[in-house]
Amino acid sequence: MLRITVCVSGGGTNLQAIIDRIQDGTLRDVEIAEVISNNRGVRALDRAAAASVPGVCVSPSDYPDREAFNDALLAELQRSGCDLVVLAGFLVAIPPQVVRAFPGRIINIHPALIPSFCGKGYYGLKVHERALERGVKITGATVHFVDEDLDSGPILLQKAVAIRDDDTPEILQRRVMEEAEWELLPAAIGLIAQGRVRIEGRRTRILPA
Ligand code: GAR
């Protein structure tokens, strides 16, 4: 059984996709230990409660400085006893001490085809605004392992999504979620649960079933 702790900041639709795939039996041998949100009162925490998954808030506003928040986040992740940390729309830079405590054991979903539209300032709707401004014809989503830099760790899964002429950032965000994110994130967790992922430098290898 792979125990995962899912970190969220807002709507939690990616969290919901994981919950749904566990409940319908597609995602086997996976248990959500806990959901951690950096924001209070978000929909993601309601989704956790509805699925009887423990949810906690670790908010920067409850700590005197960033270092104290970082330490609290690490302590909560360790307390949850998880094997894998899943960043599912967690809009917080992961501090180095967390990366070092969970080497090769943190994955993130990003709403673009890395290395496009990623790094500092590229999160949530902004990613889709920039993709439309730049006029790319294809975007998508990426699941990658987290290292000490932003959106730079080994890529595990990617899926492309076509951009349409009449897309708005909101319409595109929704389609990237529906066509890519909600499929990729549970699939990535499933591959890790089955022991089928090897990290080789900056690359990953997916082993046959
Ligand atoms: C998702 O689109 C996710 O890819 C993105 O935030 C959204 C969260 O939605 N994450 C990032 O931009 C990380 N850089 P959700 O709360 O409904 O899952």
Cα 38 to middle of ligand 1, angstroms: 14
Among 170, 164, 166, 122, smallest CA distance to 139 is for 164
15 is in which domain, residue-wise?
2-197
Ligand 1: nearest atom to the Cα of 17: 18
Quote the pLDDT of residue 209. Answer: 92
Q: Is residue 7 part of a domain?
A: yes
How much is the average pLDDT of 39-55? 98
Domain with residue 109: its CATH number is 3.40.50.170
27 domain residue, yes or no? yes
3-state secondary structure the chain: CEEEEEEECCCCHHHHHHHHHHHCCCCCCEEEEEEEECCCCCHHHHHHHHCCCCEEECCHHHCCCHHHHHHHHHHHHHHCCCCEEEECCCCCCCCHHHHHHCCCCEEEEECCCCCCCCCCCCCCHHHHHHHHHHCCCEEEEEEEECCCCCCCCCEEEEEEEECCCCCCHHHHHHHHHHHHHHHHHHHHHHHHHCCCEEEECCEEEECCC
- In whole angstroms, give the CA distance from residue 61 to residue 73: 13
pTM above 0.85, yes or no: yes
Asked if residue 207 belongs to a domain, the reply is: no
pLDDT at 51: 98
Ligand 1 pocket mutation pick from 181, 183, 184 by most atoms within 8 angstroms of CB: 181
The answer to the question of residue 204 being in a domain is: no
Residue 205 maps to a domain: no
Quote the percentage of the chain above a pLDDT of 90: 100
Q: How far is the CA of 65 from the centre of ligand 1 (A)?
A: 25
Q: State the total domains in the chain.
A: 1
> Over the stretch 151-163, which tens digit does the pLDDT of each residue have?
999 999 999 999 9
Cα(110) to ligand 1 centroid in Å equals: 7
Q: Tell me if 202 is assigned to some domain.
A: no
Let me know if 110 is a catalytic residue: yes
Q: So what's the pLDDT on residue 24?
A: 98
